[in-house]
Structure formats: structure tokens, C-alpha cells
Amino acid sequence: MKDVAIIGLGCAAYTAAIYTARYKLDTVLIGEEEGGMGITAAEVGNWPGDMEVKGPDLMERFKAHAVSFENVKHQLARVESINKIDNGHSLVLQSGETVEARSVIIATGSNKRHLGAPGEDELAGRGVTYCATCDAFFYRGKTVAVLGGGDSAVEGAAIAANVAEKVYLVHRRDSFRAEPFWVDEVDKKDNIEFVLSTNVLEIQGDQKVTGIKLDKPFNGSDVLDVDGVFIEIGSTPATSLAEKLGCELDERKHLKVNPDMSTTVTGIFGAGDVTGGSNHFAQFATAAGEGAIAANSVFSYLQAGAEHSGAMG
């Protein structure tokens, strides 16, 4: 039985593993995608000590640090469920394999939110994508639409404008909620046009995206001809595992945690974007902080159990 199983392979998970390793805890890191949402950040300008670093590069450094410890096992796998057993929990993987641990840190992050418009599912992967910074390269010299008004949308539009001929930044509100730095960046781009106070009713196309239908005319037409649509309208916390286990969620469906990152289920801790622990402020810095706190709390939790039983597994 492991001392701790950390579910996730993003910023919070890797940070937690670095700390649990240094606490000499037998640790297993399990997740489906290395780097998590961190790999979708084209440029990170607010990670202390790095004036500018690419998200994938930063995540690769996080991983290298975490797996450098002999007491950390790294495993690419999907966790289907978490079940209570004597002295801990059992993680059931998609393969049928089980992993037992005395404690668990859930750092499953978040999933991209879908628009829910007709044509979206049918054209996914054929012009519809959920990561402008990942896929903009494929639209060199073409016309694209980026949907959203937060950091990921506005940053994505700025990145896409470096390769696309034309970028429409479509937002349902009349102003952006993104970090002012990124708003300033898109303001500088001559090939970005703002389509504000507007909703997308449909994504059009047969074998590939050909346009988007708007809820009101823009420049005389309610259809914009585009070759690609980047849907960047936020994300939802990946709390299905925690919810099935009986962990309490907050009003926004994030994992509810105490200041020590413990959840309402004994031996289960949370960290990163999956929680509401940092005022719902999803950043590399807050995820890393929560990962560190969760690891420290796991160490204290296991120590208390060892003192009670007279031994530590």
C-alpha cells in the first residue's frame, strides 16, 4: 500500500509529489495527460523567477523534478473510481488494475467548457477546437473565430493573430474580463476584430467548419465566414471522482476543501483548479501552493495515524 496516491499530472499534482517525496512518503502519481491544462498556456509571464516561459516547457520541468525522486512512481492511466478500504482507499483504473494508498490527493484540474451550439460536436476536430494556443498553427493564412472573453480566449486570439490572416474575437458581453495585459496585446493587433455583445447560435459546415451564425448582424450579416472556431469559454472542475466518493462540492461544483486542503472525506485531500480553495483563482501559483499545502497535510495526517498505531507504513 502506497502512502499517498496523487490523481492528476498538472501543476498541483507535480508540486504535491515533490513535497511528498521530500517527506519520504511512498508516492504514486496517476493521470491521463501529462501537464494537464498547463500545457495549453502558450506564454506564462507570471511564474515567479521566469520573466516568460511556455506552458509546456514549465510543465516538463515540473514533471522532471517530481519523477527525479526514487519514491515517486509515475503512471499514465485513467482512474475510474476511488473506494474506501481498511486503512485507506483503493483506486480502480480503467485497465482493471487497483492501486491502494493510505491517503489520496485529488488534483484532477478542470475540463474545457463546451458551447452547446448545433454543429459543435459534429465538427469537433474538423475546425472546432478548444485550445487556440495549441492549434492556431494549423490555421496559417486563414480566418478564425475565438469565442470567449477571459484570459484563455484573449491570449488565444493574440497567439492566433500571429499566424491567421484574420481573427474574430467573439464575446457575449460588451467588455473582456481577461487580464489587462492580454487585452492590451490584442488591441495592438491589426488583424483582430472584436465582435462584442454577441452570441454564437450555430457552427456551420459539412465536412469542415465554414462559418458561425450570430444572434445579431455584424457588419451587415449574421454569419461570419471562418475556417476554424476556437471555443475558449472557460472550464468546469473535474470533480466526478470526488463526487462519487461522497466529497462535498461548493456552489460552483468545485471540491470543497478546508484551509489544510482536506475534504469532507477522511484521508482525501484536494489541490489545484479542481478546488475552490484559492478563491476560484486558477493560476499556476495558486495550484502549486495548494499542492504544497495538501502534501504537508497528508504528511501530518499520516504521522498522526502512525503515532496512533505505533508504526508508519
166 vs 1: CA distance, rounded Å = 55
Which among 11, 26, 86, 131 is annotated as catalytic? 131
31 vs 1: CA distance, rounded Å = 18
37: nearest Cα among 57, 2, 63, 11: 11
Task: Tell me the pLDDT tens digit for each residue of 74-98.
Answer: 999 999 999 999 999 999 999 999 9
14 contacts 66 by C-beta, under 8 angstroms: yes
pLDDT band per the 50, 70, 90 thresholds, residue 306: low
Q: What is the pTM of this model?
A: 0.88
Phi, psi of 169 (to 5 degrees): -105, 105
pLDDT band per the 50, 70, 90 thresholds, residue 309: very low
Which among 3, 11, 134, 227 is annotated as catalytic? 134
Report the 10 Å Cβ neighbour count for 283.
Answer: 16
313: nearest Cα among 85, 17, 25, 20: 25
Q: What pLDDT score was predicted for residue 310?
A: 33
5 vs 17: CA distance, rounded Å = 9
Decide if pLDDT at 311 tops 50.
no
Residue 119 φ/ψ region, left for φ over 0, alpha for ψ in the -120 to 50 degree band, beta for the rest: left
Decide if pLDDT at 308 tops 60.
no
Q: What pLDDT score was predicted for residue 40?
A: 81
Coil, strand or helix: which one is 198? Answer: coil
Is residue 134 part of the annotated active site? The answer reads yes
159 vs 177: CA distance, rounded Å = 18
Beta bridge partners of 230: 129, 146
Task: Tell me the pLDDT tens digit for each residue of 100-149.
Answer: 999 999 999 999 999 999 999 999 999 999 988 888 889 999 999 999 99
Which among 135, 151, 227, 273 is annotated as catalytic? 135
Decide if pLDDT at 219 tops 70.
yes
Decide if pLDDT at 69 tops 50.
yes
Decide if pLDDT at 19 tops 80.
yes
- Domain architecture of the chain: domains with CATH: 2-111+235-309 (3.50.50.60), 128-231 (3.50.50.60)
pLDDT band per the 50, 70, 90 thresholds, residue 43: confident
